[in-house]
Amino acid sequence: MTLRANWNYPTAIRFGAGRIVELPQLCAEVGMHNPLLVTDAGLAKLPLMERIQTILKDGGVAFGRFFDVKPNPDSDDVDAGVVAYRAGQHDGIVAVGGGSALDVAKAIGVIVNQTCSLWDLEDVGDNWKNADPSKIVKVIAIPTTAGTGSEVGRSSLIIDAKAHRKVIIFHPKMLPEIVLADPELTVPLPPHLTASTGVDAFVHNLEAFCSPFYHPIAHGVALQGMKLVKDWLPVAYKEGTNIEARSNMLSASIMGATAFQKGLGGVHALAHPVGAVFGTPHGLANAILLPYVLKRNQAGVAERLTEAARYLDLPNPSFDSFMSWVMDLRTELAIPHSLGDIGIDESQADFIGTSAKNDPSDGCNPVTLTADDYKAIFIKAVRGEL
């Protein structure tokens, strides 16, 4: 089967293996003649980035480089990118990478020409109106992981290092102008990152599906996104060069980030402060926390997860069969069972609980949780007690 298409939901998406060669054409399409190429320090060293730069050069596109994004980016990354953008007098951004690079690139684009600060655009109330939309820079997003789906998102997750919290920066026009989704670019992803980013995509779909808010389009997208992860993540994990598996996982990632317009939930509410405090990669935090939050949410999600279990063709569809499959998947992907297994202790439990309650994702959780509830879930996840 040939997996190749042009989509416009929620933005223009050029999807298909080998389509990275179209990058110069896409730059011309959106009026970029001198973009800033943004990626993270690790990806900058790989042959993939050399190839992308060669494609731009051969296509006659001038560009600058900002390759210093950290795995858990903070405002210093954004500030440095703003300096690079202004110094090079760039006219757009080409963002390459996983969630970290894409989030920083979008944050640079939204703030570089504004008079307000980055934190003035925190996703609270109508803060997004603090930005002048006419001054937001266009972004072409090129994902190299199948997890965060940041390429189709209208927000960025940036750490406020002083406050030890991850802040969601939001503006509707942060949505990239074009997504170049080439599954071949995800092939170099090692198995452990394929696993954790893949579970991240699953959690996006799952929490969107369980969100109590009305959004039937996102609801259906989330259900099919979960099905793609079930069918294809184990294949991508074991057979990294399988382009069909990589394609379907890239689709599932895009679907998850599209679906969470409907909302996320307690897994993300906890994963954000865990990442901010302990530096845990976001996908890994989600993968570990998932069953502990599901167990606490059981009363509010049992009916929906029975529906999901039926669609996923699990035996004896029920909350328990869904939970059992989640646990088996984590084992198959070598996901650590507990936060304690990756060196996290309980010393910050109070702060984690309070921060999770204050996280925007808490408002979409299908069960009302208190700061003490989140603290208790965190401690269980540290101890591995389900």
Q: Coil, strand, or helix at residue 111?
A: helix
Provide CB contacts within 8 A for 291, sequence distance 6+: 323, 326, 327, 330, 386
**What's residue 78's pLDDT?**
95
Tokens for 169? 């920066």
Superfamily name with CATH number, domain 191-383? Dehydroquinate synthase-like - alpha domain (1.20.1090.10)
Please answer whether residues 160 and 149 qualify as being in contact, where contact means their C-beta atoms are separated by less than 8 angstroms: no
Q: What is the DSSP letter of 136?
A: P
- CA 204, CA 350: separation in Å to the nearest integer? 26
Per-residue pLDDT reduced to its tens digit, 160-181: 878 778 888 999 999 999 999 9
For 14, phi then psi, to 5°, come to: -100, 105
pTM listed for this prediction: 0.91
**What's residue 7's pLDDT?**
57
**What's residue 2's pLDDT?**
64
Provide CB contacts within 8 A for 101, sequence distance 6+: 38, 39, 40, 43, 69, 95
- CA 176, CA 228: separation in Å to the nearest integer? 24
Please answer whether residues 73 and 104 qualify as being in contact, where contact means their C-beta atoms are separated by less than 8 angstroms: yes
**What's residue 382's pLDDT?**
98
Q: Across the 386 residues of the chain, what is the mean pLDDT of every consecutive 10-residue run?
A: 69 96 97 97 92 97 95 92 97 95 97 96 93 97 94 91 84 95 95 95 96 90 97 97 97 94 94 92 95 97 96 96 97 97 96 95 95 98 96
**What's residue 377's pLDDT?**
98
* Domain spans of the chain, in order of start: 12-186, 191-383
In this structure, which topology does domain 12-186 adopt according to CATH?
A: Rossmann fold (3.40.50)
For 141, phi then psi, to 5°, come to: -105, 130
Strands 4-8 and 12-16: antiparallel
**What's residue 345's pLDDT?**
96
- CA 110, CA 156: separation in Å to the nearest integer? 10
**What's residue 164's pLDDT?**
75
**What's residue 9's pLDDT?**
79
**What's residue 8's pLDDT?**
62
**What's residue 72's pLDDT?**
84
How many CA atoms does the CB half-sphere of 343 hold within 13 Å? 5
